[in-house]
Amino acid sequence: MFFPTCQSDDQFVINRSESELDSRYQYTYDLLALIIEATKADFGEGSLVVAEMRMSRNRIFRSLKDGESINVIAEASRSTWNEELIPIKIPIRKGIQGFRVFIIKKDNASTLANITTLAQLTSLKTGSGSQWSTKYAMQQAGFDVMESTQYENLFTMLAKGRFVTFGRGVNEVFQEITQFNQLYPELIIDEHLMLHIPLATYYYVSPNQPRLAQRIQVGLQRIIENGQFDQLFYQRHCEFLLKSKLDKRLIFKIDNPYLSETEIISSLGNGFMLNPRDDFNQLCKQYQ
């Protein structure tokens, strides 16, 4: 995995992924590198360092709060983080991580193909990380959620039949199914359903690093205005948006107990966020 680096005055120390097979954070590293580059003229040099140690999200929160080990992370919004850290409330994934499709065992493909109601879907046991914000949204919607604190364990549990569905963001699922295929060839991506959970990924900064937070805020707004943000976002995500064929899926939407859609769109307006019914074939042609 490539980690962008440069030498600097401002040092951004960001979390390492949860395992060697976890590539979910690469986009957030590269976006932060772009932000640093876009703010050199007024903030000076900056460097991006990926922490050596892997930590759970709860430990990352404590580390950020205390100003130890790391000083920035890109994470889904939650109230405690918003209150005790410095959130930069610009949804850097445009809500795509809330477009959840399911990894399942091949044997269960017909079960999901025959689902027509949310009640039928919630009757199936599902898997989630213990500290993921989507876990609480699914529990509130009536899902029976089986948890693990370990990212890789969830794929093992699914393969062993501990649960039937494992919801993953459209931005995550295709890379994951490829990476875990050798270990678990019986796992596939369901082609029929999508669960829409309103989600916003924000950069969070340690409360003792207000300069870094200001630099991210300024840099993000700058690259959104000059088009660099959308260029990077769609270059990294169009492949997944097109592969997922959202226009052919039955979509169920549930609430997020951590934030409302009104809050998500308040900073940049409704047009900034993706809608699962957008015409991604047309949209992505602009960024080929």
User: How many whole angstroms separate alpha carbon 189 and alpha carbon 206?
Assistant: 37
Does 5 map to a domain? no
What pLDDT does residue 2 have?
A: 39
pLDDT tens for each residue of 239-263: 999 999 999 999 999 999 888 777 7
Number of domain units in the chain: 1
247, 209 Cβ separation under 8 angstroms = no
Tell me, yes or no, whether 281 lies in a domain: no
- Whether 112 and 192 have beta carbons less than 8 Å apart is answered as yes
Range of the domain at 39: 10-94+200-246
CATH of the domain at 19: 3.40.190.10
Q: Residue 47 phi/psi, 5° resolution?
A: -130, 150
The answer to whether residues 45 and 5 touch, using CB atoms and an 8 Å cutoff, is no
**CA-to-CA separations, 11 to 8, 14, 26, 194, in angstroms, rounded:** 6, 10, 18, 39
Residue 167 lies in a domain: no
Band the pLDDT of 265: cuts 50, 70, 90.
confident
**Measured CA angle at 6 (ends 2, 38), to 5 deg:** 100
Backbone angles phi, psi at 30, to 5 degrees: -65, -35
Distance between CA atoms of residues 62 and 60, nearest Å:
5
Average pLDDT of the chain to the nearest whole number: 91
Split at pLDDT 50, 70, 90, the class of 23 is low
The pLDDT of residue 237 is above 50: yes
